[in-house]
Amino acid sequence: MLFRCNALGAEYVDKDQHWRGIYFLQKASAMAPGRMEPLINLAVAYAELGLYRKANDYFAEAVKIDPAYGPLLANLRIFSRAGLLDEKILSGLAPGGLGDSALPAAPPPGKGK
């Protein structure tokens, strides 16, 4: 049931039905509070709605669980480059935890796809 709720929630978010997706992602997160996937998906869903503080809350929760989790770090890089990441979240990572030096710089706003 957990995986079904997470997958269904992510699918709704992908179809721009964010609130419906959030409903299922919250169910998935409640079923397994320590699972990373629903937390990351919730953060992305809220960010896409422009609710960055809420997105940061979910990212912070995920960092507490596993600060080295690859998919989490990939999403944190994107959020950080967009200037949307709460800097307090970075304190939960090891120095250089996002590995930004190995990645190309993000394009200026409005210049990328």
Query: Is-above-0.95 flag for pTM?
Result: no
Helices (H), the chain: 2-14, 18-31, 36-48, 52-65, 70-81, 87-90
Q: Which helix H or strand E contains 95, and what residues bound it?
A: none
pLDDT at 50: 96
**Sequence spans of domains, the chain:** 2-100
Q: Which of 14-18, 41-45, 86-90 has the lowest mean pLDDT?
A: 86-90
pLDDT at 1: 87
Q: Which of 35-49, 57-71, 92-106 has the lowest mean pLDDT?
A: 92-106
Q: Which fold has domain 2-100?
A: 1.25.40
pLDDT at 72: 95
